Amino acid sequence: MVKKEEKQNNNSVFKKVDFMGLELTYDEAKTILFPAPYSSTSLTQGTLDGPSEIIQNWNMEDYDLELNYAPCTAKIYPLPEKLYEGEKGLQEIHDITGQIIKDKKLPVVLGGDHAISISTVKAASESYNNLSVVIFDAHTDMKDSFDNKKNSNLSVAKRISETGVDIVQIGIRSVGSEELEDAEKMKAYCRVTEKEINQIVKDLNDNVYISIDVDAFDPSIMPATPMPEPWGLKWEEVIAPLKKIGNKKNIVGIDITELSPIHGFSTPNVICAQLAYKAIGIKYRRQAEEEGWENYYEKQIKEKKAVNR
Ligand SMILES: [Mn+2]
Q: Domain for residue 5, yes or no?
A: no
pTM for this entry: 0.92
Q: How far is the CA of 247 from the centre of ligand 1 (A)?
A: 26
Domain assignment present for residue 272? The answer is: yes
Ligand 1 centroid to Cα of residue 179, in Å, is: 14
CATH of the domain at 119: 3.40.800.10
Q: What separation in Å is there between the alpha carbon of 260 and the centre of ligand 1?
A: 12
Comparing CA positions, the residue from 134, 149, 175, 103 lying closest to residue 283 is: 134
123 CA to centre of ligand 1 in angstroms = 21
- Asked if residue 4 belongs to a domain, the reply is no
- Find the radius of gyration of the CA atoms of the chain: 19
- 58 CA distance to ligand 1 centroid (A)? 23
Q: What is the pLDDT of residue 9?
A: 46
Query: What spacing in Å lies between the alpha carbon of 216 and ligand 1's midpoint?
Result: 7
Distance 28 CA to ligand 1 centre (A): 34
Q: What tens digit of pLDDT does each residue of 93-112 get?
A: 999 999 999 999 999 999 99
- Please report the pLDDT score of residue 12 as a whole number: 62
* Omega within 30 of 0 (cis) for the link into 112: yes
Q: How far is the CA of 172 from the centre of ligand 1 (A)?
A: 9
Exposed/middle/buried for residue 159 (C-beta within 10 Å: 0-12, 13-18, 19+): buried
How remote is the CA of residue 88 from the centroid of ligand 1, in Å? 23
Between CA 147 and CA 195 the distance in angstroms is 39
Span from the CA of 139 to the centroid of ligand 1 (angstroms): 5
Residue 15: pLDDT band with limits 50, 70, 90? confident
3-state secondary structure of 38: coil
Gap from CA of 3 to ligand 1 centroid (Å): 36
Q: In which band, very low, low, confident or very high, does the pLDDT at 5 lie, cut at 50, 70 and 90?
A: very low
Q: What angle, 0 to 180 degrees and rounded to 10, lies between the N-to-C axes of helices 194-203 and 235-248? A: 40
Whole-number Å distance between alpha carbons of 30 and 76: 6
Q: How far is the CA of 304 from the centre of ligand 1 (A)?
A: 44
Percent of the chain scoring above 90 in pLDDT = 86
Domain count, the chain: 1
CA distance 122 to 87: 14
Task: Give me the pLDDT at residue 297, please.
Answer: 59
Residue 221 CB coordination number (10 Å): 15
pLDDT in tens, 157-182: 999 999 999 999 999 999 999 999 99
The pLDDT value recorded for residue 133 is 98
Beta bridge partners of 110: 35, 256
Residues with CB under 5 A from ligand 1 (ion): 137-139, 213, 215
Instruction: Tell me the C-alpha distance between 158 and 168, whole Å.
Output: 12
- Given a contact cutoff of 8 angstroms between Cβ atoms, the answer to whether 134 and 140 are in contact is no
Distance 131 CA to ligand 1 centre (A): 22
Q: Ligand 1: distance of its center to the CA of 244 in Å?
A: 23
Q: Which residues contact 71 (CB under 8 A, 6 or more apart)?
A: 62, 64, 277, 278, 280, 281, 284, 288
Distance 137 CA to ligand 1 centre (A): 5
Identify the domain containing residue 241 by its residue range. 23-303
- What are the tens digits of pLDDT across the range 183-236? 999 999 999 999 999 999 999 999 999 999 999 999 999 999 999 999 999 999
Q: Where residue 3 falls among pLDDT bands split at 50, 70, 90? A: very low
Residue 292: band (very low, low, confident or very high) from pLDDT cuts 50, 70, 90: confident
In a domain, 15, yes or no: no
Edge-to-edge strand ranges of the sheet holding 250-257: 76-78, 31-36, 106-111, 250-257, 207-213, 131-136, 166-170, 187-189
Q: What is the Cα–Cα distance from 10 to 5, expressed in whole angstroms?
A: 11
d(CA 257, ligand 1 centre) in Å: 9
Ligand 1 centroid–CA 287 distance in Å is 32
* Bridge partners for 35 per DSSP: 110
Q: Which residues contact 59 (CB under 8 A, 6 or more apart)?
A: 270, 273
Measured in angstroms, how far is the CA atom of residue 107 from the centroid of ligand 1?
A: 21
CA 200/CA 192 separation, integer angstroms: 9
- For 11-17, which contacts have Cβ atoms below 8 Å and span 24 or more sequence positions? 11/80, 13/79, 13/80, 17/77, 17/78
Residue 12 domain-assigned?
A: no
How many CA within 13 A on the CB side of residue 188?
23
Q: Quote the ligand 1 centre to 126 CA distance (angstroms).
A: 25
**Pairing, β 207-213 against β 250-257:** parallel
